[in-house]
Structure 1
C-alpha cells in the first residue's frame, strides 16, 4: 500500500465550510484511486488516501459533496487541495469556487499548461469537458444594438456561483443602498419636485457624508481654475486634448480672447497652451423628459488656456455645435451668471459623457466582454486564466445590477438624467464608434491627445507609471509561458479568447485598430496589459471620485430643467436655481454617486492575489516583484499628495480595486 497525504483548505467567504459528506478521488498518469471520504465539517483537514500501487504523476482530483439523508445540503467553498505523494512530491489543486450540488467535479493540478502541452489523454479530456460546460454556463447575449455584448442571465440566481457576490458583499451593497434611500425619505426629499431656493441647501442632502474633496468642490466649484483642473484629475480625465487648429464650427476670434492684442490664438496654439473639450456626440440629441418636464443636454465646445502659473483656465464656451445668433460664445468677461451658467451646462454634459462613455462603456461593459470570453474559452489550467481571473471578480454581477438599476427602462438614467430616454442608446452607440485601441492604451492615448507635458496632470503621471509596472508584470508572466510568436499563433484557446472579444466586445469593428488575431508575444502582452489596466486602474480613475466631485450637485448635475440662454445678459441667480435639477432629482443622483463610490468591505487591492492560482516558482516570484513595485508607487503618490490642496488618489494601487467590482 502507498499513502497520499491530502490537505484541504477552505476559502475565505463566510460559511465556506460544509457539514455535508465530501469525497475525493485522485487521478494520475497510471490510474486513479477510489472515492475516499474526507473529514467533515471541513475547515482545514488532512487525510490519508491509501492505494495498493502508485497512480503516477497526479493530473487531477475529483470532488463530490453528498448530503446526508437526514440533513440539509450545505454549500462548500474549497480554496485548494494539496496532495503529497509517496515520493515526497507536492501537488497543488486550486479550486476557489462554490460546490453546491452532488455532481462530481474535476480540478486540474495547478501547473499552468497550454493545450499543446496537455499530453495525457486524461488532461485533454478534462480540458474539453470543462470548456464544454463553460460554453453552457457563459453564453453571449445582446442587451442593445451597437454596444458590447453581455453575459446571458435572466436573474442573479442564474449567474454561476463562482462569479456572484460573496455574502458579505451582497449584504453591504444592499445595506448601503437601503441606508441612502432611507435617509432621503426621512428628510422628505427623495421625491420632491420643488426647485432649490438657496444653493447652500444642497449640502443638507448628505450633510454627514461629505469627503474632504467634496467639501473642497463645494467651496471652489464656481472658480475657473477648478473648472479646468477637473479635466486633468477629476472623474473624466480622458476628454481633454491639445488644440492645434480651431474647429470650423467654433468661431472664436482673437478680438474675443485677446482684446488688448497682447497675444493671439495662433501664437498660443503654437506654444501648446490651448486645449479643447468637444462633446459632439451629444449633438442634436432629444434629451429626456421626466416629471412631465423637458430636460436639456447640450453638446458644448470649450477652449482652455494654460496660464504662466500652469493653471488651465476656460476662455470660451459654445453650448451647441452649430454656430448661430442664438448660440453665443460665452467668455469669462461676461456677466457672473452668464459665465457660470455656461460652465454648468458644460459640467452637466460632462456628467453624462463620464457616466455613459468613460465609466459604463469603457470600463464596465468592456470588462464584462473580457471576463465572459475568459470564462467561456479558457480552462483553469491555462496561464492566461490564472493571470486574468482575479481581474474578473464580481464584474458579471455588478454589471447585471448596473443594467437593471441604471440603464434599464425603469433605471436611474431614464428616471433622473437628461441623457436617459431616447438619448441613452444613441449616446452609447456613438460612444462605441469612438473607441479605438489607442484610446484604451494609456501611453498612446496620452500621446494622441497631445497631453505628454501638461503640468499637474496626475492622472497621466501616476497612470503611465502604473501602466509600465503592469506591462512588466504581464510581460514576465506571459514571456515565461510563450517563448515564440508561433506558440501564440498556435494556441487555439488563446486565439478563441481574443477573437470572441473582438467579435462580442468590439463588435468586429476593424476601425478600432484591434487586430483580428494575435500574431506575436508582443501583441499578446500589449493586449493583456490593456485588459488588466482597464479592469483595475482605469476603472478606479473614473469610478472612485464620483461622490468626491458629484457630491456637490451643482458641479455635476445629471440634468438641467431650462434651456441655455440664447442671448447674453439674461441670467441671474434665480435662473441658475430654476435650471438645476429639482430637489428630488438632485438627491437621487447624489445617493447613486455615494453608493457607487463607497469602497466595499471585501476590497481586494491591485496586486493582491488571495486566490493562489499559480504554482510555479517563477510566476510566484513575479507576483512578489509586482507587489513590491506597486508599494513603491503607492508611497511615491502618498508623498506627492502631501503638498497638494486636492490629493490625487485614484491611481494609488493600495486604494485601487483589482477588478470592476463596484
Structure 2
C-alpha cells in the first residue's frame, strides 16, 4: 500500500531567501518516519517568495506528525543559503500539519523543525521530542553566548564581527548595504561634507539655519521656528523624544530654593498654592552631577545637572518657571526665571536641553531600549525552544536587535564613535552615566502604567506619550494574557516550567546584574506575573523604543533645541549673556555636523521595516492563538485610526506611538 503526503514548502519573500540547491525532507510521525527524500523541484521552487507542493510517498501510515527534517545540498564551490518560511503537510486522511521555520539554512546538515502547536517542557511525553527539544537548546546555547561589553552594564551577545552573529539575527544583504552606505555617506547625502572638518564656533544663527536646510521635516521645521518659546520647551517634557524626566512636585527640594511666595502667570498665582493644587512639576537631572566631561577638538566641554520647575497654566500648557543649572544652591548658582533678560533665560533653557539630550541618549534610549532588548533576545534564544509559547510571542520583537547593537558598539559608542567623540558625556563620563543609569533601573519604571503613576502624571492634560502608550500597553497586555492563559491554565504550570524560569533567571543575572532592588522577578510564580513581564518586554522592544528614537531628527535636527554638548561652563551670574555668548557656548561646527548626520541615520525608516500590526511570520498554528492575533491586529489598527483623527486637531501631531509607525523591534 502506498500513502501520499502532500508537502507544501514556502520560501520567505525577502532578499536572497531563495536557493538553487537540492532540498531533502523526512516526515517524522508517532508511528514511523518517511524516507529521506529529495523534493523534485520545478524551475522556480525554493526561489524568493515561492510556494511549491510536492508528493512524499510512504508504505505505511506515519500517525500524528511530530517533526520534519530538512536538508539542503548544493554545489561545493557556491555557498547558497536558504530561508524557508514554513512547511505544510497534508496527510492521506486530509489533516494539515504546519511547521513554522523562519530560519536560515546555511549548511548541508539536517535541521529539525517541530509541528507548530506550542508545547511546554513538562508536557512532552514522546521520548524523541524530549531529545529534540534538549538538542535544540544545547545548539542555541552554543550559538548565543553572553559577553561583557563594559563592567557594570548589561551583558551582550558575544560577537567579534558581524559575520559571527547567527544568520537569523543579521540584516539581509540589502539592509546591510543600505545601512552601511548611509553610515558612510550620511554626511555626503546631507551635503554636509564641506562643514565636517570645520572646528570653528558658530558666527551667527543664520549659519546654523543654512546647515539645517540640508534636511527638513515638518516637525524639525516647527522646532526651528518655536524653540525659543517657553510653551514648546515645556511641551517637549511631555511629548518630545524624552518624556521620561518630568514628575509632579508636591514639595520643593531644599537644594532648589525657589521662593514659595513667588508669583507667575497673568493671574499672579503663587508657587505654594499651585503646588497644593498639583499644578507644579519638576525635572531633576541629579544623575548628571559630577560626570566627567569630554574634550572635543582640544576644548573642555560642559554638562549641567539642572533642576527645572514647570507650571501647568490656565491654558493647560506646561510652562517653565524656574531653572537652576547646578545641584548645590549658592551665590555662583543663580536661579533663572522667565522674567530675566532674553539671553540669560534662553541660555539656561539650552543648558537644560543639552543635559536632557545627553541623558536621553545614554539612559532612556541606549540602556533602557537597546541594551535591555538585547538581553531579552539572547536569553530567549538560549532558554526557550521554538515550540515554546513565550518564544512564539516574543521572537518577532527581537528582529535585527543583535546586529544594530553590534553596529552601535562599533560606530557610535566605541572609542572613535560619534557619541563618544561629539557629546559632552562621551568618553569616561559615558561609563559613569551608564553605571548610574543601571543603578536607577527599576521594573516599575519599565512598565508604563506604574511609571506614570509613580511620577504622578495620570491626569496631566495633552500628554500624548502617556495616552497612546497606556492604550498600547493595555492592548498588548490583553493579547499576552489571552495567549498565555491558553497555555498556562493555572499558576502551578508557570512554576513547573523550567525553561521559563531559566529565561527570567538569565535576564535577572545578565540584564539587571543580580540587583534584587530593581524589583525584576527572579522567578515566576503566577500567570499574572508572567503576563506583565512579557508585556513589558514587548512594549520595551517596540513602543518604548519608538517613543525615544523616532523623533530624534525631528527634535534635535535643529541643533539649539538639543545640543550634544556645551562649550562654556554654566553661567555663575546673571546679566552677562548676549547672542555672541550664546553662540560661543553651542557645539562647534564639526560636532554639530557629525551629530546631525548620526541622528538623521538613526531616525531613518528602513525599506524592510516591520510594524507592530504586521505578523509576517506565523509562529502560532492553533486556531485560538491565530484568532487572538487577528483581534490584536484589529485593536492596533483601531488605535492607529484614533491617533490619526486626534492628530488632525493638533498643531503639532504626536505620531511616535501610532502602531502603524512603531517598528516591532529595536532594529535601528
- Fold match by TM threshold 0.5: yes
What secondary structure is seen at the aligned counterpart in 2 of 1:188? helix
Query: Any idea what SS the aligned residue of 1:276 has?
Result: strand
Query: How do residues 85-234 of structure 1 correspond to structure 2 at under 5 angstroms?
Result: 85-183=91-189, 187-234=193-240
Query: Hey, what's the Cα distance between the residues in 2 that align with 1:205 and 1:99?
Result: 47
The 5 Å alignment of 1:200-599 reads 200-254=206-260, 256-257=262-263, 262-599=268-605
Equivalent position SS for 1:4? strand
Q: Any conservation in 2 of the 1:20–1:73 contact (CA below 8 Å)?
A: no
Label 1:645 to 1:262 Cα distance change in 2 as closer, same or farther (>3 A): closer
Q: Which residue of 2 aligns with 1:23?
A: 24
Structure 2's unaligned 5+ residue stretches are: none
CA distance in 2, matches of 1:319, 1:186: 33
1:559-614: CA deviations, max 9, x gaps? 11111211101111001111100111001111111100011111111021101110
Kept after mapping to 1: 8 A contact 2:504/2:521: no
**C-alpha contact (below 8 Å) 1:257/1:315 kept by paired residues:** no
Aligned match of 2:55: 48
Q: Measure how far apart 1:204 and its partner are.
A: 2.6
Contact 2:231 2:318 in 1 (8 A): yes
User: CA–CA distance in 2 between the matches of 1:524 and 1:555?
Assistant: 41
The alpha-carbon deviation at position 5 of structure 1 amounts to 1.0
Distance 1:362 1:16 in 2: 33
- Return the alpha-carbon distance in structure 2 between the equivalents of residues 214 and 592 of structure 1: 15
Distance (Å, rounded) in 1 between the aligned partners of 2:514 and 2:636: 35
Question: Quick check: 1:38 aligned with 2:39?
Answer: yes
* Separation in structure 1 between the aligned mates of residue 210 and residue 156 of structure 2, nearest angstrom: 39
Distance 2:131 2:229 in 1: 65
| Compared CA separation, residues 24 and 260, structure 1 to 2 (3 A) | closer
Structure 1's 597 and 288: CA in aligned 2 closer, same or farther, altered over 3 A?
A: same
The alpha-carbon distance between structure 1 residues 502 and 259, as it changes in their structure 2 partners (threshold 3 A), is closer
Once residues 529 and 99 of structure 2 are traced to their aligned partners in structure 1, the CA distance between those partners, rounded to angstroms, is 31
Paired residues for 1:579-658 under 5 Å: 579-658=585-664
Deviations 1:240-284 (A, max 9, x none): 000001111111114554599944322111101110001011101
* Secondary structure of 2:459 counterpart: coil
Q: Displacement of 1:119 after TM fit?
A: 1.1
Q: How far 1:290 sits from its partner (Å)?
A: 1.8
- Cα distance between partner residues in 2 of 1:190 and 1:259: 44
Q: Distance in 1 between matches of 2:266 and 2:385?
A: 68
8 Å Cα contact 2:212-2:558 kept in structure 1 = no
Q: In 2, are the aligned partners of 1:184 and 1:190 still within 8 Å (CA)?
A: no
Aligned equivalent of 1:59:
66
Q: Secondary structure at the match of 1:419?
A: coil
Q: CA RMSD in A?
A: 1.4
Give the match's secondary structure for 1:407.
coil
- In structure 1, the gaps of 5 or more residues are none
What is the CA-CA distance between 1:20 and the residue it aligns to? 1.0
Deviations 1:628-660 (A, max 9, x none): 111111111000001111100011001110111
CA distance in structure 2 between the aligned counterparts of 1:600 and 1:517, rounded to whole angstroms:
37
User: Scaled by the length of structure 2, what TM-score is found?
Assistant: 0.97
Structure 1 contact 214–550 (Cα < 8 Å) conserved: yes
* Matched-pair contact (CA < 8 Å) for 2:307–2:325: yes
TM-score (norm 1): 0.98
In the alignment, the residues of structure 1 paired with residue 528 and residue 141 of structure 2 have an alpha-carbon distance, to the nearest angstrom, of 29
Kindly indicate whether the alpha-carbon contact (under 8 Å) linking 1:33 and 1:51 is maintained by their aligned counterparts in 2: yes
SS in 2 for 1:8: strand
Which range is displaced more, 186-195 or 393-402?
186-195
Aligned with 1:324: secondary structure? coil
How far 1:167 moved relative to its partner?
A: 2.0
Distance 2:311 2:480 in 1: 38
Residue 71 of structure 2 contacts residue 108 of structure 2 at CA under 8 Å; is this kept in 1? yes
Query: For the Cα contact (< 8 Å) 2:246–2:283, is it kept in 1?
Result: yes
Q: CA deviation at 1:313?
A: 0.8
| Residues 187 and 204 (structure 1), Cα distance of their counterparts in 2 relative to 1, 3 Å cut | farther
Q: Secondary structure of 2:412's match?
A: helix
Higher mean C-alpha displacement, 181-190 vs 532-541 = 181-190
Give the count of matched residue pairs.
661
